[in-house]
Structure 1
Amino acid sequence: MGPKTYIVYILASRRNGTLYTGFTGNPVARIWQHKNDWFEGFTKKYGVKRLVWYEVHEDPEAGIVREKRIKEWQRAWKIRLIEEHNPDWRDLYAELTGEG
């Protein structure tokens, strides 16, 4: 990833589990924070730590718009998006960091 990368992402607690959609300009650090319960809140409460989908954006405004649209989607649409790109619901964090 380049010097400044923005991503829209979906985390899951497990396959077909609880989902969380977010946006960040510091992907590696932000997902690490989710994985390590850095913040109190939804992802910590429900154990949502597995990065199952992400999309890279060069323009932060476009990424924010995409995140807001996905957040409005029905759950079935989010699951379809995940399964189109990651049918096994693998944790993509290592791929994101370049280690996978």
Structure 2
Amino acid sequence: MKYHNYYVYIVTNPKKTVLYIGVTNDLVRRLDEHLNNAGRPHTFAGRYWCHLLMYWELFADVHQAIAREKELKGWSRAKKEALIAAQNPEWRELNQEVGGF
């Protein structure tokens, strides 16, 4: 079985009032897509300007990544915030750290 990189990630808007959770096999490309869609109402992340990376996890198996995405989406806002704060206590934008904009 061949393994790839899959990412579960959380992005937010500049005011950090909205959280968007997604899964992708190319985190840099996906962050760029979120940035390009910022302010465009045809997507949830675009409508709410969610393009600032706050948190991400790496998986080798797509099924595990999808399961984790679904798990996180079912969490309360407080639990998601605690997850972000555990790894990124200052809620710094991580886009440049992963090669995004």
Regarding TM over 0.5, the answer is yes
Letter in 2 for 1:32: D
Look up the SS of the partner of 1:55 in the other structure: strand
> Relative to 1, partners in 2 of residues 1:71 and 1:98: Cα closer, same or farther, differing over 3 Å?
closer
Q: Contact 2:8–2:56 at 8 Å: present in 1 too?
A: yes
For 2:87 and 2:15, the matched residues in 1 are separated by 14
The residue number in structure 2 matching 1:33 is: 33
Alignment CA distance shift 1:41-1:33 (3 Å) = same
Residues 1:94 and 2:96 aligned together: yes
- Structure 2 residues without counterparts, runs of 5 or longer: none
Q: Which residue of 2 aligns with 1:71?
A: 73
SS at match of 1:47: coil
Displacement of 1:14: 3.4
Letter in 2 for 1:30: R
Q: Which runs of 5+ in 1 are unaligned?
A: none
Q: C-alpha distance in 2, partners of 1:71/1:7? A: 14
After superposition, the C-alpha distances for 1:20-46 in whole angstroms (9 at most, x for unaligned) are 000001111011100121772111111
* Compared CA separation, residues 41 and 98, structure 1 to 2 (3 A): closer
How far apart are the structure 1 equivalents of 2:87 and 2:10?
12
Q: Percent identity?
A: 36
Q: Which runs of 4+ in 1 moved over 6 A?
A: none
Residues of 1 paired with 2:96 and 2:30: CA distance? 13
